[in-house]
Amino acid sequence: MAEKKSSRGDLIKETTRLTREARRRWGAHENAACRKIRDQALTLYQSLTPSEKDEIPQTHRVWLRYRSEKYFGLDRSKPGSKRTAKPAMKTPKKKSHAPSHGVVSTRIESHVGPLVLLASKKGLAGIYFGHRIEVTTLPREDASDRFLKKTAKQLEQYFAGKRETFAIPLDMKGSPFQRSVWRGLYEIPYGETISYGELANRLENPSAVRAVGTANGMNPISIIVPCHRVIGRDGSLTGYGGGLDIKLKLLQHEGILLDT
């Protein structure tokens, strides 16, 4: 029971932290970042009970619930500038930034395309699909790093069908709630899938399905921490940072047949 209360408390703290960060970005006119963080905070907020929402500062609740698109949208004008109409444009999906504690990186080829591996001084810090990582944020390249060499070898064995589990020290940075979700992902066996709702139930937090989905999407270590094994309740693939085609290839590689 204490552990469950702690989990709910972490959810409240994370909602508050994200809202505070979104407000800071809004004040700095960092519109795209504000929008992204505000959406994450709102997803978490909607998973809270009424009593839990009351634990979040009122100023945060009001800002989060009622701040309209024209105030934090991508086309919000700078102070003192004249607002002009802009044609509607499709915003490209933002690439992930390398985790700040990563000190070395390397790039390898795989059956699902290029992969970028990152390591800290303590272990593996990230696995990103090559087209989904901002290269300017990568640390220096060093393929000889012991964590990166071990990861590259085990991934080679995985794609060759000779490995189903990994034995690599992981160094993932995130909030307590995010880390609890990532631990849940790590425990999903090879060749099996579960829904977001089932993952939330396993974490003894059944009302936090959306929050679990958000944390799942922020998983920094693809494949080894298998967020690709989480699918929709109706069996649909749902979203995936690397793209649904890669998610499908990974599941098929593990012998999972889905209706597509």
pTM as predicted: 0.66
Q: Which of 115, 208, 211, 227 is catalytic?
A: 227
pLDDT tens profile 150-185: 999 999 999 999 999 999 999 999 999 999 999 999
Catalytic-residue membership of 34: no
pLDDT tens profile 196-226: 999 999 999 999 999 999 999 999 999 999 9
Q: Quick check: 127 and 221 in contact, CB under 8 A?
A: yes
Check residue 171 and give its pLDDT. 97
C-alpha span between 236 and 174 (Å, rounded): 28
Check residue 5 and give its pLDDT. 61
C-alpha span between 67 and 71 (Å, rounded): 7
Go through the domains of the chain in sequence order and give each one's CATH number: 2-72 (no CATH), 104-159 (no CATH), 176-253 (1.10.10.10)
Sheet holding 104-108, edge to edge: 104-108, 115-119, 124-129
pLDDT, averaged in runs of 10, over the chain (260 residues): 68 88 81 82 85 84 62 52 51 80 97 96 97 93 97 98 97 95 96 94 92 93 96 85 92 79
